[in-house]
Amino acid sequence: MMEEAIATYREEAGELLAELETSLLELEETPDDNELINRVFRAMHTIKGSGAMFGFDEIASFTHEVETVFDMVRNGKMAVTKRLLDLALKSRDHIIYLLSCPLGEEVDRRDGNEIIAGLRHLVPQAEMPEQGPSEVPVNCLLTALVDEPADEYTWRIRFRPAANILMCGTNPLILFNELRGLGNVHIVAQLDEIPPLDSLVGENCYIYWDIILTTTRGEDAIKDVFIFVEDDCYVKIELIDKSGLIDKEQGYKKLGDILVERGDLSPVEMQKIIMLQKRFGELLVEQGIVSSEKVHSALVEQEHVKSVRKDRSETPSVEVAASVRVPVERLYQLTNLVGEIVTVQSHLSQVSLAGGDATFIAISEEVERLTNELRDTALNICMLPIGSTFSKFRRFVRDLSSELGKEVEMETFGADTELDKTVIEKLNDPLLHIIRNSIDHGIEMPEVRMAAGKSSRGTVFLRAEHSGDSVLVSIRDDGAGLNRDLILAKAVERGLLSATADVSDKEIYAQIFTPGFSTAEKITSISGRGVGMDVVKRSIDSLRGTISVNSVRCVGTTITLKIPLTLAIIDSLLVKIGNDHFVLPLAEVEECIELTREDIKKSHGRNLANVRGAIIPYIPLRQLFNITGQCPDVEQIVIANIHGTKVGFVVDQVVGEHQAVIKSLGKMYRDVKGVSGATMLGDGTVALILDMSFLLLAVEGS
């Protein structure tokens, strides 16, 4: 159980560190944003608190020092500077290192000590303790800075944990110790919800607590103690007194008033007891209206507040958001099972139609409707916003531009666009390569940009948007643009293009994806070896996606990726050649037309079809795949639009639309060109999924 809790902490800490990096980079743009400052502080505090719970003492100790500095920032004692953000980002990297270290083993503290020393030098001298640096350790100096005298506040806290809090690895005693570190505390356990022994579950927590805390810290400091458990527990915090607002001679609220405020006693019940003219608390317990623990808790509050004198104020309780954390493997298993159901449903539809029974057909149609809803729901569960990937590149752009001596910022659009988690993971490296090239080759040096009338600061624009069953991801920079003539000359030199051929800009720019192709004059640690863009293209091809380039000299370059929403199931067009079935992705199909013997004679062997006055080339798949047998008198041409080029694929018969559950071909067939996968049909036969983009390029290049 503890191993699972530790694994959960590592996962949640990783998510918090990703959010922390995003917040720090946003804070660099708006350093006065208090919400961002609080977000950074809370992330640090959560990592620290939960780290201590699960035995990550190194993380808790180190993060506490960084958290202390940001506590000073949010209290207005320090300003947000570039140096502070540099150290905070390094702190984030160091926490990732500590997170990866096995528990109980020795860790390298050199980077952490260097970061803490750097933070110490940023602290204003007026805020430093009188002792010299040699007298007090660095990690104590920072913590000491927040301990200043201020007004005292008294808070009433009711903490009712979830029943399974102990099974989740959370120890309430650790929370209480944190509260004791804030000031004077009285804690009273409430036992009235403990069930009889025969119905008690040993792993559950049935106790809740009333806490009275006097501290110089604000409500945020108390909330931070419970921040790791606030989603699973009930925490109510009320300000009941503040020093200086009530005369010290006056008494505090009566016992009955305190119980009514807490919700433990109704006003009607209070009046009945008052009429009996006995000690209020004793009567409540005698008549079984309120438990002795609740009366004792109210008396503790009464005595506590009498000694410190504060005003009362209420804060609303925190609404709990419901969410479930599911291992990725279970999602993949769910997707595979849904895919199998889709295949079985397809078989059911074929059998019902062949049988002709109206009742059977109606049942089949209902199963098809439910299967479609199940498929969409399952795929949506596996969807994640692409913004989680976009945010990773902000740090990369910041660090790389600094290394190159350039001023570059990144702007993102459509971060809420959703893609399959698997697709997002495989997009990371291609996007990284493209952004690196945009900064290194595209964005000019500040002085060059200013001489050209541009701002010294360049921009990389990252955009995502839905387009049918695909997502378009574009990376645009406002740099120098591609040098068309230089690329053409290099391509001619390598024999990739003919010097006399009339080639389009699209064909010229496509050369940058050729393995080993580079126009860089010198090799750097970042680029220039001709490695990268060919890898990008292979990665996008493996996702059944496409990539296109558009560039204007001195204005900038745009690279657009078209990626399918999911790699599991696609809407397709099922076709037949002889006895073999094939599948064409429906997203690229525009229409289907007939091809007669007369049409073939009119084209004089040039494989061209006249479609409403437009001449469209076509590819006879029977000939391409060497499929024997007699062609039907009337064949079908499937017209597709591939990268803006219309082309036809000739087949014997168009069967109809089909939901294809994609299966890989296996290691033996990994090098088969023109086929991107296979799918199982309802009758158990296998149909190959054709890669129309590759088939078009293969025919054009032959």
Residue 370 pairs in a beta bridge with: none
DSSP type of residue 1: -
- Taking each helix axis as running N to C, give the angle between helix 2-29 and helix 34-53, from 0 to 180 degrees, rounded to the nearest 10: 160
Are 213 and 299 contained in the same domain?
A: yes
Say whether both 257 and 118 belong to one domain: no
Of the candidates 9, 10, 43, 45, which has an alpha carbon nearest to the alpha carbon of residue 24?
Answer: 43
Q: Which domain holds residue 371?
A: 328-382
Tokens describing residue 301: 């509050």
Task: Yes or no: say if 298 and 280 are a contact pair by the CB < 8 Å rule.
Answer: no
Instruction: Give the pLDDT score at 308.
Output: 67
Encode pLDDT of 589-629 as tens digits: 899 999 998 888 888 878 898 888 889 999 999 988 889 88
Q: What is the pLDDT of residue 702?
A: 53
Residue 1's pLDDT is what? 55
Structure tokens at 502: 């009339």
Give me the CATH number covering residue 432.
3.30.565.10
Any domain includes 169: yes
> What percent of the chain shows pLDDT beyond 70?
87
Give the 3-state secondary structure of 505-543.
HHHHHHHHHCCCCCCCCCCCCCCCCCCCHHHHHHHHHHC
Say if residue 552 is in the same domain as residue 405. yes
Report pLDDT for 147.
Answer: 44
Half-sphere exposure of residue 139: CA atoms within 13 angstroms, side-chain side: 12
Is residue 323 situated within a structural domain? no
* CATH code of 649's domain: 2.30.30.40
Task: Give a yes or no: residue 319 inside a domain.
Answer: no
Q: Tell me which DSSP letter residue 417 carries.
A: -
Angle at CA of residue 339, ends 562 and 579, nearest 5°: 85
| Token pair of 611 as six digits | 């479609």
Listed in sequence order, the residues at least 6 apart from 190 whose beta carbon sits closer than 8 Å to its beta carbon are 207, 208, 209, 210, 291, 293, 294, 297
Mean pLDDT of 364-381: 87
| Confidence band of 249 (pLDDT split at 50, 70, 90) | very low
Q: Are 595 and 609 in contact (CB under 8 A)?
A: yes
- Do 458 and 538 lie in one domain? The reply is yes
Last residue of a domain, one of 516, 545, 564: 564
Residue 292 has pLDDT above 70, yes or no: yes
Determine the Cα–Cα distance for residues 101 and 103; give it in Å rounded to an integer. 6
Angle at 182 between CA 180 and CA 183, to 5 degrees: 75
104 or 509, higher pLDDT: 509
Give the pairing of strands 457-467 and 407-413. parallel
Residue 137 has pLDDT above 50, yes or no: no
Q: Which residue has the higher pLDDT, 671 or 430?
A: 430
Over range 120-147, report the average pLDDT. 52
CB atoms closer than 10 angstroms to residue 529: 11
For 35-86, what is each residue's pLDDT tens digit? 889 889 888 888 887 787 777 888 888 988 888 888 888 888 888 999 999 9
- Tokens found for residue 616: 């469209």
Q: Across-strand partners of 92?
A: none
512-529 pLDDT, tens per residue? Answer: 888 877 776 555 555 543
What radius of gyration do the chain's Cα atoms show?
A: 34
Q: What is the pLDDT of residue 64?
A: 87
Say if residue 135 is in the same domain as residue 191.
Answer: no
Q: What is the rounded distance in angstroms from the CA atom of residue 355 to the CA atom of residue 352? A: 5
The conformation of residue 157, written as its DSSP 8-state character, comes to E
pLDDT on residue 436? 92
Residue 378 lies in a domain: yes
Token pair belonging to 638 = 């499937």
420 with 520, same domain? yes
Whether residues 372 and 516 fall in one domain: no
Listed range (163-172, 279-288, 608-617) with the worst mean pLDDT: 279-288
pLDDT on residue 418: 87
For residues 76-105, give the mean pLDDT: 89
- Considering 315-324, 601-610, 691-700, the range whose residues carry the highest mean pLDDT is 601-610
From 98, 116, 144, the end of a domain falls on: 144
**pLDDT over threshold 90, residue 93:** yes
Based on the fold, state whether residues 401 and 375 are members of the same structural domain: no
Q: What is the mean pLDDT of the chain?
A: 82
Q: Is the pLDDT higher at 43 or at 672? A: 43
Same domain, 548 and 423: yes
Asked if residue 165 and residue 305 are part of one domain, the reply reads: yes
- Whether the CB-CB separation of 663 and 679 falls below 8 Å is answered with yes
Q: Quick one: CA dihedral 180, 182, 186, 191, positive or negative?
A: negative
Q: Tell whether 320 is covered by a domain.
A: no
| pLDDT at position 588 over 70 | yes
Instruction: Look at the chain and report how many structural domains it folds into.
Output: 5
Query: CATH number of the domain that 123 lies in?
Result: 1.20.120.160
Which of 327 and 319 is assigned the larger pLDDT?
327
SS (H, E, C) 229-297: CCCCCEEEEEEEEECCCCCCCCCCCCHHHHHHHHCCCCHHHHHHHHCCCCCHHHHHHHCCCCCHHHHHH
pLDDT for residue 159 is more than 90:
yes
Alpha carbon 532 to its chain centroid, in Å, reads: 25
Tell me which of 260-269, 370-379, 546-555 is least confident: 260-269
Residue with tokens 């795949």: 625
pLDDT confidence tier of residue 698, bands split at 50, 70 and 90: low
Pairwise pLDDT comparison (43 vs 532), residue with the higher score: 43
State whether 171 and 202 are in the same domain: yes
Compute how many other C-beta atoms are within 10 angstroms of the C-beta atom of residue 289.
18
Rounded CA gap, 65 and 140, in Å? 8
Residue 320 has pLDDT above 50, yes or no: no
Task: Report percent pLDDT > 90 for the chain.
Answer: 23
**What is the structure's pLDDT at 605?**
79
Q: Is the confidence at residue 115, as pLDDT, over 50?
A: yes
Whether 114 contacts 161, CB under 8 Å:
no
Is 635 a member of any domain? yes
Structure-token match 């925190």, residue found: 318
C-alpha distances in Å from residue 517, one per residue of 352, 406, 510, 578: 56, 25, 11, 42
Contact 258, 301 (CB under 8 A): yes
Question: Is a pLDDT exceeding 80 seen at residue 201?
Answer: yes
Least confident of 165-179, 519-533, 569-583, 661-675: 519-533
In a domain, 322, yes or no: no
Backbone angles phi, psi at 304, to 5 degrees: -60, -50
| The pLDDT value given to residue 594 | 92
Q: Same domain for 523 and 546?
A: yes
Domain boundary among 367, 382, 397: 382
Of 124-128, 131-135, 254-258, 460-464, highest mean pLDDT: 460-464
Least confident of 210-214, 279-283, 366-370: 279-283
Evaluate whether residue 260 is within a structural domain. Answer: yes
